[in-house]
Amino acid sequence: MAIPVDRRTVLPVRKRATEVSVVTARRSSPSRGRRRPPPRTVPVAGIVGLGHMGLVTGLAFSAHGLNVVGYDISPELGKQIARGSAPFAEEGLAKLLRQELSRGRFRVVPSLDALAAEAECLFLCVPTPSQPDGRINLGPLEQSARAVATALRSVTSPRVVVVKSTVVPGTTEGMVAPLVRSVAGKSPEEIGIASNPEFLSEGTVVRDALRPARVVIGASDARSLAWLRRAYRDFGAPVHALSPSGAELVKYLSNSFLALKVSFANEAARLADRLGVHIDRVMEAVGSDPRIGGSFLRAGPGFGGSCFDKDVRALAVRSSDLGLGLKLPRAALDVNDDQLEYVIDRIDTSLGGLKGARLALLGLAFKAGTEDVRESRALPIAERLLERGATVRAHDPAAAKSFARAWSERTPKGAAGLTIVPSIEHAIEGADAAILQADWPQYLRWPARWSRKMRRPLLIDLRRAVPVEVARRAGLSLVGLGDGTDVKNVADVPRAAP
């Protein structure tokens, strides 16, 4: 059956970065007396905070056709970005930044006043770090919201303020909305407020921002929802519209559930070691069930990064504040802490003791593909190894400087026994064992000459990433976390033959 076609259907054709004209599908000229629809202006988004999340968010909007103006409280950072120099390492970021700057769709402005004057929608993309009690520190968000509101006092046209930062449910409506409107002296009709959480994974943030799996919008008014739907219409992702608190809860539950999957796999790895089976084969079969799925079921030394630990702790505390005291978030955290001790015990047993051992710690970022060391397992692993009498040479192809800063903050009085070295060969020279903490590709090729440099050619692979055949060719004894190896039988590994 033929489907009738309305030849008057309009199709958008982008001509310039600042203007989209509308033409008809019919090639003939329009009827006399019929006026052409007026050109539609491209939405202007403002990004407040150009860190890991803010910069990539702004560039994604720009790449999908919006005009974007960005501002950061650090003038140096703003100038660096305006020059086209990416401030942190992420695959594809430098290229995307240069592309959008050259197109003129992404610009850095020197003040919030300039941003507020142009941007119809202002995204708050500032950090919400964890505090010792597990609650998030809302100080940066409060300061940012207050500064934005001050800049909006002189703006006469309606604006939308969106909380992109990760905040516990109730923050957008309970803190940000009344603060912004009070300081700006504006009504809800003049300033809409919404939540729009991010779902970016470090190492793939550019891909995740450009092609998100879903978009979650928490808006309490129709105008804010409409603006955000329009901003995301070319992203090709399903949009879930909720209340602001509902959107905030989606973010926390998503990360908590993923953390639970990681902790489940890590506990299962301990059982696999005891039973002498390989955890990856087991979890591959478990994850093949579509009801479960295989993502985040790869056992390792524990979850890290800027999100999981912080968000799970905040959810646990928030639930307690509400009189619930959810058990699963705390269980995920407890298993993560226990996994660290299991890792250290497995290393200790593999070597027959750590006192006097010389070790190479390979991979200092919380995972390969990023320079981020926040909550990296490499930090507490190094601490525990030193406490048990080992000396450590540490290496990472991208995160060495970040790790050095974090280590100095963690051990302000200094901790003798740890040295960060510039090369893999320097790290493993004369080592009793190497410990693979982050599975960078550089480590996985492991040539035989590396084994010959070690006092004992033993690799304790916390990610099970080095192929067995590669280790065999290199004369390298391999102990994996969750690979079922009986570590009591590898304590006296002989030196590799030259």
Is 121 marked active-site? Answer: no
Q: C-alpha dihedral over 396, 262, 236, 98, to 10 degrees?
A: -10
pLDDT of 496 strictly over 70: no
DSSP-assigned letters across all residues of 339-371: HHHHHHHHHHHHHT--TT-EEEEE--SSSTT--
Q: Token digits for 339? A: 């996994």
Read off the pLDDT band of 6 (50, 70, 90).
very low
Looking at residue 491, its pLDDT comes to 53
Read off the pLDDT band of 37 (50, 70, 90).
low
Q: Percentage of the chain with pLDDT > 70?
A: 89
Tokens 């259907």 belong to 9
Per residue in 226-261, pLDDT tens? 999 999 999 999 999 999 999 999 999 999 999 999
Q: Within 322-467, where are the H helices? A: 327-351, 378-387, 400-410, 424-428, 441-444, 448-453
Looking at residue 411, its pLDDT comes to 84
pLDDT of 1 strictly over 60: no
Looking at residue 382, its pLDDT comes to 97
Looking at residue 42, its pLDDT comes to 83
pLDDT of 313 strictly over 50: yes
Read off the pLDDT band of 455 (50, 70, 90).
very high
| Distance from the Cα of residue 226 to its chain's centroid | 27
pLDDT of 10 strictly over 70: no
Looking at 5-19, 278-292, 368-382, 392-406, which range is the least confident one? 5-19
Looking at residue 30, its pLDDT comes to 44
Looking at residue 36, its pLDDT comes to 57
Alpha-carbon distance 9 to 18, whole Å? 23
Q: Which residue from 320, 346, 336, 344 is spatially nearest to 375, judged by alpha carbons? A: 336
Mean pLDDT over 146-168 rounds to: 97
DSSP, collapsed to helix, strand or coil, labels residue 395 as strand
pLDDT of 384 strictly over 90: yes
Higher per-residue pLDDT: 203 or 312:
312
Q: Which residue from 314, 325, 302 is spatially nearest to 128, judged by alpha carbons? A: 314
Q: Token digits for 9? A: 């259907």
Taking CA atoms, 360 is separated from 14, 393, 455, in Å, by: 55, 5, 11
Looking at residue 49, its pLDDT comes to 98
Alpha-carbon distance 86 to 73, whole Å? 17
Q: Token digits for 347? A: 């290393």
DSSP, collapsed to helix, strand or coil, labels residue 281 as helix
Alpha-carbon distance 165 to 142, whole Å? 11
Q: What is the mean pLDDT of the chain?
A: 91
Looking at residue 41, its pLDDT comes to 76
Q: Token digits for 415? A: 């901790």
Indicate the helix (H) or strand (E) that contains 303: none
Burial class (CB within 10 angstroms; exposed 0-12, middle 13-18, buried 19+) of 26:
exposed
Looking at residue 113, its pLDDT comes to 97
Do residues 134 and 313 lie in contact, with contact meaning Cβ atoms separated by under 8 Å? yes
Looking at residue 276, its pLDDT comes to 95
pLDDT of 33 strictly over 80: no
E-strand spans in 421-476?
433-436, 458-461
Read off the pLDDT band of 463 (50, 70, 90).
very high
Alpha-carbon distance 325 to 14, whole Å? 52
Per residue in 325-366, pLDDT tens? 999 999 999 999 999 999 999 999 999 999 999 999 999 999
The DSSP bridge partners found for residue 458 are: 477
Alpha-carbon distance 160 to 229, whole Å? 13
Q: Kindly give the pairing relationship between strand 40-41 and strand 19-24.
A: antiparallel
Do residues 251 and 455 lie in contact, with contact meaning Cβ atoms separated by under 8 Å? no
DSSP 126: -
Looking at residue 2, its pLDDT comes to 43
Alpha-carbon distance 408 to 404, whole Å? 6
Read off the pLDDT band of 34 (50, 70, 90).
low
Domains assigned to the chain = 41-242 (3.40.50.720), 243-498 (3.40.50.720)
Q: Token digits for 363? A: 């991979």
Per residue in 99-113, pLDDT tens? 999 999 999 999 999
Per residue in 83-139, pLDDT tens? 999 999 899 999 999 999 999 999 999 999 999 999 999 999 999 999 999 999 999
Q: How many CB atoms lie within 10 A of CB 383?
A: 18
Read off the pLDDT band of 416 (50, 70, 90).
confident
Q: Percentage of the chain with pLDDT > 90?
A: 86
Q: Tell me the whole-structure pTM to 2 decimals.
A: 0.87
Mean pLDDT over 438-445 rounds to: 97
Tokens 């940066």 belong to 140
Mean pLDDT over 444-450 rounds to: 97
Alpha-carbon distance 47 to 118, whole Å? 11
Q: C-alpha dihedral over 77, 79, 82, 85, to 10 degrees?
A: -60
Looking at 36-40, 171-175, 450-454, 493-497, which range is the least confident one? 493-497
Give me the amino acid identity at 86. A
Alpha-carbon distance 269 to 257, whole Å? 18
Catalytic residue among 124, 152, 206, 307: 307
